[in-house]
Amino acid sequence: MQDEIIASVLNGQDTLALMPTGGGKSICFQVPALVKEGICVVISPLIALMQDQVANLKNKGIKAAALHSGMSKREIDICLDNVVYGDIKLLYVSPERIQTRLFRDRVQKMNVNLIAVDEAHCISQWGYDFRPPYLKIADLRELHPKVPVLALTATATPDVVDDIQEKLSFKKRHVLQKSFVRSNLAYLAFYEENKRGRLLNICKKQRGSGVVYVRNRKKTAEIADFLNRHGIKANHYHAGLSSEQRTQRQNEWMKNAVQVVVATNAFGMGIDKPDVRFVVHLDLPEDLESYFQEAGRGGRDEKKAFAVLLYDEGDKLDLKEKVTRKFPDRDTVVRCYRSLLNHLQLAAGSGQHATFPVDLPAISKTFGISLLDLFHSMKLLEGEGYLSFNEAFYSPSTVHVCVNKQMLYDFQLRNASLAPTVELLLRSHAGLFDGPVKISEQELAKRSGSSFQKIKKQLEQLHEMEMIVYQPARNTPLVTFTQPAQYDRDLRLSKEYYDLRKEVAFTKMEAMLAYLKPDVCRQRKLLNYFGEKSGGDCGQCDVCLSAKASSGSEKEIKAYILEKLKQTPMRPDEIANSMLTYDREKVLKCLTWLVDEERIKYLPDRKLTAASSNRDENKV
């Protein structure tokens, strides 16, 4: 469908494109950006994804830049100059940046050929990840009224589809939707009290690459350790790891050095590994949108893959409590906001458009506030438009030479102590005069035979002397104040917004819980949720397979069990888990019968084996 979307954009039509995870959304605005004269402005809330896409485009020789809340005012100014007066083809912008006067003044000078809105569901209050800065995108259209808009998202219900087009001021309704059907992906959901045992069986049976999603960071390490102890190579991954650790673990998985990544939902966005054979959720996602996106990372090579959701009664209670805790009362939100301002030493009336790194655990400890209340208060304040909260942000070290070549040469002649470092930078990195370039202080130190501390100090000196703009690496949440800091009495939390978000959250939670019921084909449930009429049952989810298996004869099941136990001894639960196409209760009933009839027997380690290989199997 990419061809149809690209043609629509090139014809100047406002277009909403719905494409499942892995559908190749980025190329739908990158190709028009290259075909047409001028620049494409891409609005995206995901800083890490923006950075990755810019790096990938530059590697292909395509000039691109990113503008986000993690940059200093000087970096932003330089970047905008490069866009206005240079030959940049794609400018990635975080939504809170488009509200600033600086950006609005510069964007009027740009020859914009397309406005692309990634993760467009964020514009809708009926969506699962509503972000108020997205509502300002329509204002951008007023500055370039003839420029078409391409909105892209992987998941949107019918209400959200309508809302996106209205909020982006589409001249004419126009939706291009790729079917959400993934014929190679089997959706399975099982009530399971022994999740770890079931997970181990899945990993051993599937053998290929897999992703295991869990709720919190501590659990990622616990499950990865469990798998490693049982012979499955696994890494854990979450936003709290250093950038080097995350990159290393991601690369090891991409290159199949490890089979499984156990991760929070911080893992997977923008990662394109086609041969993922299974995605397992050990905890319930908050909504079907999240589940569909995460499960959809399996089987992008169009070969058979499995999305397995394991749950128990405790998970249902945990999900209800988690959704409830997302909505602290007004007094708690005000207290958290005041603690944030005190932590940053920010006075009321100041700070608009300023960005600050924040240490949430330190605030929690200093002011005696629950970390969860603090986190959810930040999200509510973001929803009310007071601030923008990037909870997991990593920015590598960058250097930009901000003087011309002659001035830099003259500086080297006058500053013998710093000249070798300048020369080292120029030899090691291209494009330093064009804009910020990622550097590694460790690598520079290694090349120069110096120490990390010395290189860092010299870079800081060059920055202070205004020869370069040096931005050291950061790995911390960021808060950008989209409004001036407020007095407590002026902090407005609208009942309408609060009640609506709570209603949306609980409606989505109920849909997630309803998905667990084994009453209708799993794929049909997902398609109906996203407003797509299904052509019938998928025939491969656990509900469909169970319906098929319920009609299977006990003779067939017994023969299958005997054949399995001839090959290798197995525990009863292992046998049941390996027979997903059969009704579990019927399998356990047949096991009991075979034991009673002495066709199979228990070994000392409680595994079952075939009692005799020369019995007439037709007698079963």
- Are 485 and 558 in the same domain? no
Q: Is the pLDDT of residue 61 over 80?
A: yes
pLDDT of the residue at 616: 43
Mean pLDDT of 33-37: 94
Position 614 pLDDT exceeds 50:
no
Q: How many helices (H) and strands (E) does the chain have?
A: 25, 23
Residue 543 lies in a domain: no
Assign residue 359 the CATH number of its domain: 1.10.10
Q: Is the pLDDT higher at 500 or at 547?
A: 500
Average confidence score pLDDT of the chain = 88
Bigger pLDDT: 188 or 578? 188
Same domain, 426 and 563: no
What per-residue confidence (pLDDT) applies to 222?
95
Q: Residue 618: its pLDDT value, please?
A: 43
| pLDDT value, residue 47 | 75
Judged by DSSP in three states, 573 sits in helix
Same domain, 283 and 347: no
199 and 134, same structural domain? no
**pLDDT score for 191:** 92
The answer as to whether 530 is a domain residue is: no
Cβ contacts of 110 within 8 Å, gap of 6 or more: 38, 39, 41, 83, 84, 91
Same domain? For 401 and 302 the reply is no
What DSSP line would sit under 443-512, residue for residue? HHHHHHT--HHHHHHHHHHHHHTTSEEEE--EES-EEEESSPPPPGGG----HHHHHHHHHHHHHHHHHH
Length of the chain measured in residues: 620
Q: How is 3-61 classified by DSSP, letter by letter?
A: HHHHHHHHTT--EEEE--TTS--THHHHHHHHHSSSEEEEE-S-HHHHHHHHHHHHHTT
If pLDDT is split at 50, 70 and 90, which confidence band does 410 have? Answer: very high
Distance CA 72, CA 403 (A): 18
Q: Which of 177, 204, 221 is the last residue in one of the domains?
A: 177
pLDDT bracket for residue 74 (50, 70, 90): confident
- The model's pLDDT over 127-161, given as tens digits with 9 standing for 90+, comes to 777 888 888 899 899 999 999 999 999 888 899 99
pLDDT at 617: 42
Average pLDDT on 7-28 reads 89
Q: What is the pLDDT of residue 406?
A: 93
Q: Does residue 421 sit within a domain? A: yes
Q: Which residue type is seen at 296?
A: G
pLDDT at 620 over 60: no
Regarding whether 489 and 355 lie in a shared domain, the answer is yes
Q: Does the residue 524 lie in any domain?
A: no
Q: Which residues contact 335 (CB under 8 A, 6 or more apart)?
A: 367, 369
The CATH number linked to 159 is 3.40.50.300
The pTM of the full predicted model, rounded to 2 decimals, is 0.75
Cβ–Cβ < 8 Å for 440, 447 = no
Report the C-alpha gap between 81 and 268 in whole angstroms.
Answer: 33
pLDDT attached to residue 132: 81
| One domain for residues 72 and 35 | yes
Q: For residue 273, give both structure tokens.
A: 């590994």
Residue 232 lies in a domain: yes
- Whether residue 435 lies inside any domain: the answer is yes
What is the domain range of residue 388?
Answer: 321-394+476-505
Contact partners, residue 568, CB within 8 Å, separation at least 6: none
Q: Is pLDDT above 60 for 42?
A: yes
Q: Domains in the chain: how many in total?
A: 5
Boundary residue ending a domain (285, 311, 337): 311
Phi, psi of 190 (to 5 degrees): -130, 135
Does 419 reside within a domain?
yes
Question: pLDDT of 271-305, one tens digit each?
Answer: 778 899 999 999 999 999 999 989 999 998 889 99
Query: Are 172 and 13 in contact, with CB atoms under 8 Å apart?
Result: yes
Statement to judge: residues 330 and 372 lie in one domain: yes
Return the percentage of the chain with pLDDT > 70, whole number: 95
More confident residue, 333 or 431: 333
Domain edge (last residue) among 124, 155, 177: 177
Query: Rounded to whole angstroms, how far apart are CA atoms 28 and 601?
Result: 60
- Does one domain contain both 166 and 127? yes
- 111 and 217, same domain (yes or no): no
Do 172 and 41 share a structural domain?
yes
Check residue 393 and give its pLDDT. 57
Q: Which pLDDT band, with edges at 50, 70 and 90, does 334 fall under?
A: very high
Do 337 and 369 lie in one domain? The reply is: yes
Please state, in angstroms and rounded to a whole number, the distance separating the CA atoms of residues 36 and 115: 13
Under the banding of pLDDT at 50, 70 and 90, the label for residue 533 is confident
Give the model's pLDDT for residue 514.
Answer: 96
In a domain, 515, yes or no: no
Average pLDDT (82-88) is 85
Is the predicted pLDDT of residue 549 greater than 70, yes or no? no
